[in-house]
Structure 1
Amino acid sequence: MNPHFSAFKRIITNPVLFKFFILQKLSAAFWAGLSIAHFDEESCGVRVKYSWFSQNPFRSIYFAVESMAAEMSCGMLAFGQVYKRQPAVSMLVEKVEAVFVKKATGVIIFTCADGAAFEQAVKDALENKEGSKLLSTSVGKNEAGQVVAEFHFTWTFKAKNL
């Protein structure tokens, strides 16, 4: 476990600090109104609401906004593992695949439960010069608990200056 994970968690779970964090690091997510539904070492849920800003012409949430929320649910777990690491570890999305199951309206929560896998991927990256890869999944569900979309992200991690 990253020894700085708890410090990162304090930022992400504090509504005011989180707003500053995403305004600075993920400004598009700030303007789209993304928020954290839950966050811990194992999983992260990101909330997105259907609104004027997030809509498409078909009265549902634009796929790019859904993708942002899905990526953020995985990315927060990844970022928590690389936050203030020494040596530093870079992270990057290499590939994205998505399946859209149902029209996304109302409030959607995208959840990634790959916290342990992110921890291991960063550990592996710190142990070898080639780095590591991880396939993570984020599932978006509406207020009725129905799956609206499923995203698969391939992440790469590489320790700097190894």
Structure 2
Amino acid sequence: MSISRSGFSCTTFYKYGICMASLMCRKSTHMGLPFSIAQSHDRSYFDTATMALAFTPFWINLYTAAKLPSAWLAGVRVHSLSNTECETRVRHRWINQNPFQSMYFAVQAMAAEMSTGLLLIAKIRESGQPVSMLVANNRAHFSKKARGRLRFRCTDGAALEAAVREALASGEGRTVWVRSEGRDESGDLVSSFEFEWTVRGKAG
């Protein structure tokens, strides 16, 4: 087991980080702070009712380790998140491989969905209103073997913002298709995913 210079093992640091993230989530909920506006019915995705206090890649990745361990163990990480786009990254390695010496398609799907879902959560948080979110459909296209490091980027922030705004204004559900493209270190398109998200304002 590797030991850091501070004397903590990697396992100890990992458990400490998860405990701290969970504690911050609970404290933000009990204090009534508006950090967790989105509420998802898809429990395989983030339990956004207890999202970490700081909505940044660092805390999102730490929270993923606690609440979405399959993606975390597969190596999916949030790299950047802005008002218009979100990028996730994942590297081909033994734990996420398929029998054909490339990355398993489901791991690519996790990274792609996360890039769209986090962008939607950010838009819901900006609205300041409770909104439910759920993936209704998805499509995928694979054009090259997934090897090395892949980056999945969704740039549909404007479309997601419009969907949230329309859902809140109408009081009815809205659907929106968004796209995430996965490219390798050479910049070549490896896979592309499209997700149909449904959003609906929640009463009260």
Give TM-score, length-normalised by structure 2: 0.71
Is the Cα–Cα contact under 8 Å of residues 163 and 175 in structure 2 kept in the other structure?
yes
Segments of 4+ in structure 1 off by > 6 A?
Answer: none
> How many residue pairs were aligned?
157
Q: Identify, as 1 or 2, the structure richer in strand.
A: 1
State the partner residue of 2:45.
none
Letter in 1 for 2:105: F
Work out the CA distance in 2 between the residues paired with 1:88 and 1:47. 29
State the partner residue of 2:56.
12
Which protein has the larger Cα radius of gyration, Structure 1 or Structure 2?
2
Cα drift, residue 144 of structure 1: 0.2
State the partner residue of 2:106.
64
Work out the CA distance in 2 between the residues paired with 1:47 and 1:23. 15
Matched, 1:141 2:174: no
State the partner residue of 1:158.
200
Runs of 5+ unmatched residues, structure 1:
none
Letter in 2 for 1:52: W
Give TM-score, length-normalised by structure 1: 0.88
Residue 115 to residue 25, structure 1, CA distance change in 2 (3 Å): farther
Letter in 1 for 2:135: V
State the partner residue of 1:116.
158
Is the Cα–Cα contact under 8 Å of residues 111 and 139 in structure 1 kept in the other structure?
yes
Which structure exhibits the higher relative contact order, with contacts defined as CA atoms closer than 8 Å and separated by 6 or more residues?
Answer: 1
Please give the residue correspondences for 1:94-113 in structure 2 after superposition, counting only pairs within 5 Å: 94-113=136-155
Runs of 5+ unmatched residues, structure 2:
1-33, 37-50
Residue 139 to residue 62, structure 1, CA distance change in 2 (3 Å): same
> What's the RMSD between the two structures over aligned residues?
2.3
